[in-house]
Homo-oligomer: A and B are copies of this chain.
Amino acid sequence: MQPQAERVTRAAVPALDELLGVALPVLDDGFVRVVDYMGDDRAVVQAARVSYGDGTKQVSEDRGLIRYLLRHRHTTPFEMCELKLHVRVPMDAWRQWVRHRMVSINEVSSRYSIVTDSAQRTAPDAWRRQADDNRQGSAGCFGEAEGAAFTAGEREVHALTRRVYEEKIARGVAREQARKDLPLCTYTEAYWKIDLHNLLHFLSLRMDAHAQQEIRAYATVIGERIVARWVPLVWEAFVDYRLGAASLSRIEQEILGAIGAGDAGRACALASEAGWLERGAAGLKRHRERAEFEAKLAGWGMTVPWAADLR
């Protein structure tokens, strides 16, 4: 390496500088705000060229190298960029958020400060139904009429819990104890600092359709409005190789090979061998792994080899 040849000013991203200090609204009363950042697309490239040295020569330009790194899960160059956000978020979403451990956090303490009068409110048409398939949190919304009752209940709870909290504070109960009966959806605020590799991992989980809607709202703002501006080449690669990617297991690949070879019989035999084609009274028994593969085939416009058996 030639130390003297490298840039001697800090990496800066004018498009993100414009956003510094701007509170991007999320939910009814939350926000995400960029406080500071370190690095840019080029910092990822720079770190990769250090690591892989001559090995990166074949990839002549930055975009190609970034795509290569992300596709092949070379993670350390992405750790060289860092983002610091100030967020305001309901505590129940925050509980999911803080499960990501490779971060730094400074959260407002309700031991020391009085909790502001703010809990997340739900519009009558925004109450979601429990999905039958329990894995997915929710499925569709209630009508406004039915939802109005839930919203009224919410209002009642917020009013009571607020009154009880403020009475206790007024009469000198310790803040750390007075807060105990505030609702889980009370807003909190925090500084949240994370490197780009771990941020992408956070986004891949929290922008996912299975993530709860509230945290997904935050992740989407962070991804589409902040990361996309900050490191546009990384973001493009992330969308292509991570958000839009599918994984194929060893078994799935073998079956796909049989389909590709036009050999439906072998495809069925392989599926059968894997225990995918057990029969019950009403045709094939439910099998989660088979169902997942069928969904992939459908997405690619391919016929399911055992389709005839599915009835």
Residues of A within 8 A of B (CB): 1, 3-4, 6-12, 17, 20-23, 31, 33, 35-39, 43, 46-48, 50-55, 57-59, 64, 67-68, 71, 76-77, 79-80, 82, 84, 86, 90-92, 95, 98-99, 101-102, 104-109, 111-114, 119-120, 122, 127-131, 134-135, 137-139, 142, 146, 150, 153-154, 156-158, 160-161, 164, 167-169, 171-177, 179-186, 189-191, 193, 195, 212-213, 239-241, 243-251, 253, 256-261, 288-289, 292, 297, 299-302
Residues of chain B contacted by A51 (CB below 8 angstroms): 106-109
Given A10-B36, A190-B50, A250-B240, are A300 and B104 also a contact pair (CB < 8 Å)? no
Q: A300–B256 contact, CB under 8 A?
A: yes
Residues of chain B contacted by A92 (CB below 8 angstroms): 179-180
Which residue on B lies nearest to A146, using beta carbons? B171
Contact of A300 (CB < 8 Å), options: B48, B77, B240, B253? B253
- Subset of 26 A-B contacts with CB under 8 Å: A3-B86, A4-B23, A10-B12, A10-B17, A11-B36, A38-B82, A47-B106, A50-B191, A54-B112, A68-B288, A77-B106, A90-B180, A92-B179, A128-B177, A153-B164, A156-B164, A157-B160, A158-B181, A160-B160, A193-B195, A245-B247, A245-B253, A246-B253, A259-B300, A260-B302, A261-B302
Q: How far is the CA of A228 from the CA of B191 in the complex (A)?
A: 25
Min Cβ gap A244→B in Å is: 3
Which residue on B lies nearest to A54, using beta carbons? B113
Min Cβ gap A297→B in Å is: 8
Min Cβ gap A205→B in Å is: 9
Using A38-B82, A182-B183 as known contacts, list a sample of 12 further A-B pairs with CB atoms less than 8 Å apart, ordered by residue number in A: A38-B84, A51-B107, A58-B134, A71-B289, A76-B106, A95-B95, A111-B212, A130-B172, A139-B174, A154-B180, A177-B213, A258-B301
Q: How far is the CA of A288 from the CA of B171 in the complex (A)?
A: 28
Q: How far is the CA of A289 from the CA of B6 in the complex (A)?
A: 29
Residues of chain B contacted by A195 (CB below 8 angstroms): 104, 193
Which residue on B lies nearest to A260, using beta carbons? B302
Among A1, A22, A77, A90, find the residue whose CB has the most chain B CB atoms closer than 10 A: A1
Which residue on B lies nearest to A177, using beta carbons? B128
Q: A174–B131 contact, CB under 8 A?
A: yes
Q: A173–B288 contact, CB under 8 A?
A: no
Which residue on B lies nearest to A130, using beta carbons? B174
Q: B253–A249 contact, CB under 8 A?
A: no
Q: A248–B248 contact, CB under 8 A?
A: yes
Residues of chain B contacted by A113 (CB below 8 angstroms): 53-55
